[in-house]
Every structure is written in structure tokens, then in C-alpha cells.
Amino acid sequence: METDLAPSFLVAMDSIVDPNFRRSVVVLLEHDEGEGALGIVVNRSTDYPIASLCEQLQLEWRGAPDSCVGWGGPVGEETGWVLMNDAAANGTDAIPVAPGLHWSRFQDCLRHVAEGRGITSRIFLGYAGWAPGQLEEEIAQGSWLVVPMQRPLVFDTAEDDLWSEAVRILGIEPATLVPTQGVN
């Protein structure tokens, strides 16, 4: 059963000590009470050039030469993911997340993005996953803030600013956050 948690941003609270998720911002792509949840960490980069990834897959990268792959999470770090805007998703099998935001893990989408000039997209390796009930429990413990999805945050905000800007969507100044247990 789909719930109202996806699509949204999950913003890690300071109570999360796991270095994989410390101050992370996750685009929650799917959430199902019986199946669990799936998301992409969008504020962690790697030093791995997208051009090198594309070369390994025999694709030509026509984007910015200094673009690097993002680290999407600790699960399946060999699995590629593409987040893209409407124009980039046009004519592909990309799955809509929210207005102006789509995702795919298929190589054909990567090929489409790699070969297109001026396409707005972000490419990641790995993802974040939660077993059924796990994410709800972590939210109840106060580990995550659930923030409404805003596409511009994904594409137009610097990685270093994503966490604080996501918190501000809720009308909260990040410096005023106090770690507490969530609500059930």
C-alpha cells in the first residue's frame, strides 16, 4: 500500500550517528508499508567522474567534463540511478516522482542523459533502503524530518546547502533544531 511519505525529502537529524546518513538529504522515491522504502541520498558526492562511468558502459558523456557521480546510499553501490527533469525524461521509461522530477535505474535513461546536451539530471551509484516498518520507526524516534518535495532543491541547490535549505522548507531555522523523539 502506497503511503503519503513518498515523494518527499528525508532530512537526517543530528541523532543519526551512522556516517552514511549524518546530515543527509534523501529523495524518498518509493514507500510501501508492506515492502519498505527506497530513496537516493542527494547531498553526497564522489570523486568518480561521470565521464569515466559512461566510458565503462561504452557511452559518450556530453555533459560537463568535471561532473562527478553522486553517492546515492550504502546499498547496491554498483547500481546506477538517474534523477532528471521533465525534458530529460521525455521519451524514456523514467518514473515520475513529483512534478518536474523523474527517476530511473535503466541504462537506456543514462544513455539518453549522457548524449543530451543541456539536460538537467543527476547520476548516482547506490541507494538507501528500509525494510517494512523500519523508516516509520526511525521517524518516530526523531531520526528523520519528512519535508515536502520541491524539485528545485534537487537540481538548483549546492550539495553543501541542501540539508539546511531542506530544513528551511518547514519554516525552521536549522540552528534552532533540538534533537527530540518524534511522534507516533
CATH for 68: 3.40.1740.10
Q: Answer left, alpha or beta for residue 112, where phi above 0 means left and psi between -120 and 50 means alpha.
A: alpha
Asked, for residue 111, whether it belongs to a domain, the answer is yes
Is position 80 within any domain?
Answer: yes
Q: Is 3 part of any domain?
A: no
Contact 123, 50 (CB under 8 A): yes
pTM of the model: 0.92
Q: The domain containing residue 105 runs over which residues?
A: 8-176
The answer to the question of residue 104 being in a domain is yes
d(CA 12, CA 121): 23
The conformational region for residue 76 under phi > 0 = left, psi -120 to 50 = alpha, else beta, is left
- What is residue 12's three-state secondary structure? strand
Distance (Å) of CA 142 to CA 30, 35, 161: 20, 22, 22
Q: Which of 134, 126, 85, 87 is nearest to 105 (CA)?
A: 126
Closest of 95, 98, 116 to residue 106, by C-alpha: 95
Q: Three-class SS of residue 42?
A: coil
Query: Phi-psi category of 155—alpha, beta or left, where left has phi over 0 and alpha has psi -120 to 50?
Result: alpha
Whether residue 160 is contained in a domain is answered as yes
181 falls within a domain: no
Instruction: Report which of 62, 64, 69 is spatially closest to residue 48, judged by C-alpha positions.
Output: 69
Task: Give the total number of structural domains in the chain.
Answer: 1
Q: Is residue 78 part of a domain?
A: yes
pLDDT per residue, tens digit, the chain (184 aa), is 345 799 999 999 988 989 999 999 999 999 998 999 999 999 999 999 999 999 999 999 998 889 999 999 999 999 999 999 988 888 888 999 999 999 998 888 899 899 876 689 999 999 999 999 999 999 999 999 999 999 999 999 999 999 999 999 999 999 888 766 555 4
Question: Domain for residue 171, yes or no?
Answer: yes
